[in-house]
């Protein structure tokens, strides 16, 4: 197993809110790897909308994304693309 990790900034205006969390969960569920998002002391697996909302990640905050599994590199790249694209929302 391989672990990949990346630090990213939340760019979209509303931060990691419900619609963004749902997009992230749907993406995470398409991978075998376990994806974890951390914001300071808090962390959640990316397959839990409620867990992601509890992170309270706002615009401009930095989050740590970790992927652990056979497709970890593809997973971290896909999650990074989604977050860097502002969850495909208008900013």
pLDDT at 89: 86
User: Which pLDDT score, from 0 to 100, does residue 2 have?
Assistant: 82
Give the predicted TM-score (pTM) of the model. Answer: 0.93
Could you state, in order of their start, the residue ranges of all structural domains in the chain? Answer: 2-88
Model pLDDT, residue 1: 66
Scored b (16 or more CB within 10 A) or e, 34-68 reads bbbbbbeeeebebbebebbbebebeeeeebebbbb
What pLDDT score was predicted for residue 7? 97
Domain 2-88 -> CATH class: alpha beta
Instruction: Give the residue numbers annotated as catalytic, written as ranges.
Output: 17
- Tens digits of residue pLDDT in 15-71: 999 999 999 999 999 999 999 999 999 999 999 999 999 999 999 999 999 999 999
């Amino acid at each position: 197993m391989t672990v990949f990790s990346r630090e990213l900034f939340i760019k979209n205006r509303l931060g990691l809110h419900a619609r963004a969390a749902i997009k992230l969960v749907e993406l995470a569920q398409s991978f075998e790897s376990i994806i974890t998002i951390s914001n300071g002391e808090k962390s959640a697996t990316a397959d839990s909308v409620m867990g992601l909302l509890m992170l309270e990640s706002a615009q401009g905050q930095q989050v740590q994304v970790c992927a652990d599994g056979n497709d970890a590199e593809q997973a971290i790249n896909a999650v990074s693309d989604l977050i860097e694209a502002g969850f495909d929302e208008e900013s």
